[in-house]
Chains A and B, each alone.
Chain A
Amino acid sequence: MDLKLKRGLLFLLGGLLVACAPLPRNPGADDLAHMRILSGVMSGRTVLGGEVYMPGDALIPSGSSLRLRPGTIVYVQPAESTKIDPEYLSSATELLIRGTLWIDGTARHPVRFIPLSRSVAGEPAWAGITLVDSVGSRIDQARIEYAETAILAIGSSPEIRGNQLRNNRYGIIAQQGSFPLISNNVVEHGEAGIFCWLGSSPQLIDNRVADHVEEGIFIDASSRPLLQDNQVTGNDLGLVLYDRRLAGNLSGVSGNREDLRLLTPDREQSP
């Protein structure tokens, strides 16, 4: 069986498994009151499963860890209004990891992040997961929606595998010396899919990056990712980068308004 057919069948199988999984119900106030809470500074080792309520920002500090078991559903409370003095990096509700995060979803029992309400006019309902100087993190089989950035890695190199990231403004951002493994993810229906910024070198393997209003994958002049077997389609600009050599084989980059946009490094513009 050829590789593409195998991959297609795998996606199909994954989709069927998820479709068969019971859909989370919409919790009421009483339900939320009885759930485990993910919020505030959570020091030490935290392991959560089942239904979890995230009423506000959560920080896993350096040296601490958070594990989310297979099938965990995290109900995220969007900030009632844009916070004036954000505690951490975002004005919206955020999960900030400065320690270690393990999301142990499986194809059959993914870990879901579900905002309890959607904001107006297509604005993100929450910030998403941010990793700053995180060590040893792993995000497997999560379903993340309606976030500003589903996964933002700053100086962090998590393994990001088999996730479905839909309807977020940005899918994944790797920046500032991050070199995450990003494989077998579906990143769809946002403003842009994956960014490699400020000296990051992720491995992007076997991802589907589709249907973004703007870029599928953007690589800035200082980043050096490895791109392999990604399907980039239905975006405005499929692959945007400065160094053509980084694009590798472009066979999976098709069906975008413009499949490849090569940028020219700016020469000093003298007035």
Chain B
Amino acid sequence: MRCLVLLTLLLCCWPAGEALADTEYRGEQSLWQDTVWNDRVLVDGILTIPAGVTLEIRPGTEVRFTRRDTNGDGIGENEIFIQGALRVFGTAELPVRFTSAEADPVPGDWGAINMMASEEENLLEHCLVEYGYRGFHAHFANASLKNSIFTRNQRGLQFQESTVVIDGCLIENNFNGMQFRNSKVRLGATRVLNNHWGIRCVYSELAMRDCQVAGNLINGLNLRDSTLDGETLQVTGNRKGVYLQRSRGTLRGSRIRDNSEHGIFLEDSEFLVTGNLIAGNGRSGVRWKDSTGKLRDNLLAGNGEYALVNEGEGPVDARSNWWGTTEAKALGALIRDGADLAGRGLVDAGDFLTVPPSLPLGRSAVNPVADPVEMN
């Protein structure tokens, strides 16, 4: 009897809303008050964080999701659905892990860290997110993702109508890396590696600094009807490197190299390309189709078939670049334009540089982006 009284007293003194270890949520449930997780949590259903409620997850927590696929489409449905606020405070030493509870996990075992109309300052810091359908998903939400890893998801990250800041993250080995629309996104010191699509967006504003986009099998970075402000990027070893469709923006101080198809491909876009290294790309360094803008002070050398292809009818302003040669005939062979094919516009490659430019390649373009937190 004395033990029972002590236990009752202990439970009464436990901080309000703080969950016990091995907390389980089964079926459809909601958290009705601010809650803190700090150990192991099993989600066997859909857990909603309603508006006005905050879920805080502390260092070292492991959140596991069981697989439930009621319609047989191969996509797990269990997830956390956030309309309130999510604050995940992993640390380098004690990251927070979101993973599958299955013994033999596969991408898509569970749904997503799913934010809907969550305009609080959501934060995920030092997390590992794996085996989800969409590791992180947001709709009409604000979020900041820092020093986190998204891997082995069907889609690493996806959001719409959201404002998202991503800093120091690794998005690797997902089926597709990251896709978003109607969003404002700032990417810093983040690596997007070895997905099918690296980054794909429409109707969005994307600012990128010191990022690496490499080894993606379809496109590295694709924008449609969007704006890119890119600086000191490494876009390497993808099929296409940077692919803009009906978009605009600038790219500065970046390495665009060893992409199998085109380093930069512009369609109906307006783009300023200055001070970049564009080399070793298979079909062409730059393919320019019905676009406007300028290529200035770039090092455009050592690409496969052509340094620059003008596929459109208009002219291309490509003055003041280094082409790896100053010999007119050799330079002409590097450019495919109206001089080769009727109906195509001409490339103005005048005032070409006679020595390679001193490129303002930034830290990440010279040195790999520092590794984010390593997690087991």
Please give the residue numbers on chain A whose beta carbons come within 8 Å of chain B beta carbons, in ascending order: 40-41, 43, 59, 61, 82, 84-86, 89, 132, 154, 175-176, 197-198, 214-215, 218, 220-221, 237, 240, 261, 263-267, 269-271
Return chain B residues, CB-CB under 8 Å to A270.
356
* A38–B322 alpha-carbon span in the complex (Å): 52
Say yes or no: A89-B218 contact (C-beta < 8 A), given A271-B358, A271-B359: yes
Q: Determine if A266 and B277 form an interchain contact, defined as CB atoms under 8 angstroms apart.
A: no
Q: Determine if B72 and A237 form an interchain contact, defined as CB atoms under 8 angstroms apart.
A: no
- Name the one of A43, A240, A261, A266 contacting B279, with C-beta atoms under 8 angstroms: A266
Interface CB pairs A-B, < 8 A, 9? A41-B73, A43-B72, A85-B181, A176-B217, A218-B283, A264-B302, A266-B280, A269-B324, A271-B299
- B357 contacts partner chain A, Cβ-Cβ < 8 Å: yes
Return chain B residues, CB-CB under 8 Å to A261.
305
Say yes or no: A240-B218 contact (C-beta < 8 A), given A43-B74, A271-B357, A271-B358: no
The 4 A-B residue pairs whose C-beta atoms are closest, nearest first, are A266-B280, A266-B302, A271-B359, A269-B279
Closest approach, in angstroms, between the C-beta of B89 and any C-beta of chain A? Answer: 31
Q: Determine if B305 and A237 form an interchain contact, defined as CB atoms under 8 angstroms apart.
A: yes
* A89–B201 alpha-carbon span in the complex (Å): 13
Q: Determine if B72 and A41 form an interchain contact, defined as CB atoms under 8 angstroms apart.
A: yes
Q: Determine if A266 and B260 form an interchain contact, defined as CB atoms under 8 angstroms apart.
A: no
Closest approach, in angstroms, between the C-beta of B332 and any C-beta of chain A? Answer: 14
Closest approach, in angstroms, between the C-beta of B231 and any C-beta of chain A? Answer: 16
- B301 contacts partner chain A, Cβ-Cβ < 8 Å: yes
In the complex, residue of chain A having the shortest beta-carbon distance to the beta carbon of B224 = A82
Q: A85-B160, A269-B257, A269-B302 are in contact. List 11 more A-B contacts (CB 8 A).
A: A41-B73, A84-B181, A84-B203, A85-B179, A86-B179, A197-B261, A198-B217, A218-B282, A269-B324, A269-B356, A271-B277
Return chain A residues, CB-CB under 8 Å to B72.
41, 43
* A224–B218 alpha-carbon span in the complex (Å): 20
- Name the one of B202, B257, B359 contacting A266, with C-beta atoms under 8 angstroms: B257
**Chain A interface, >50% SS class:** loop
Q: Determine if B73 and A40 form an interchain contact, defined as CB atoms under 8 angstroms apart.
A: yes
* A132–B107 alpha-carbon span in the complex (Å): 14
- B258 contacts partner chain A, Cβ-Cβ < 8 Å: yes
Say yes or no: A198-B239 contact (C-beta < 8 A), given A85-B181, A266-B279, A271-B356: yes
Say yes or no: A220-B302 contact (C-beta < 8 A), given A41-B72, A41-B73, A266-B257: no
- B196 contacts partner chain A, Cβ-Cβ < 8 Å: yes
Most chain B Cβ neighbours within 10 Å, of A154, A266, A267: A266
Return chain A residues, CB-CB under 8 Å to B49.
none
Closest approach, in angstroms, between the C-beta of B251 and any C-beta of chain A? Answer: 15
- B136 contacts partner chain A, Cβ-Cβ < 8 Å: no
Q: Determine if B258 and A266 form an interchain contact, defined as CB atoms under 8 angstroms apart.
A: yes
* A252–B100 alpha-carbon span in the complex (Å): 54
Return chain B residues, CB-CB under 8 Å to A237.
305
Return chain A residues, CB-CB under 8 Å to B258.
266
- B361 contacts partner chain A, Cβ-Cβ < 8 Å: yes
Encode contact with A along B54-94: 1 for CB under 8 Å, 0 otherwise: 00000000000000000011100000000000000000000
Return chain B residues, CB-CB under 8 Å to A82.
224
- B303 contacts partner chain A, Cβ-Cβ < 8 Å: yes
- B304 contacts partner chain A, Cβ-Cβ < 8 Å: yes
Closest approach, in angstroms, between the C-beta of B61 and any C-beta of chain A? Answer: 30
* A240–B239 alpha-carbon span in the complex (Å): 16
- B197 contacts partner chain A, Cβ-Cβ < 8 Å: yes
* A41–B305 alpha-carbon span in the complex (Å): 40
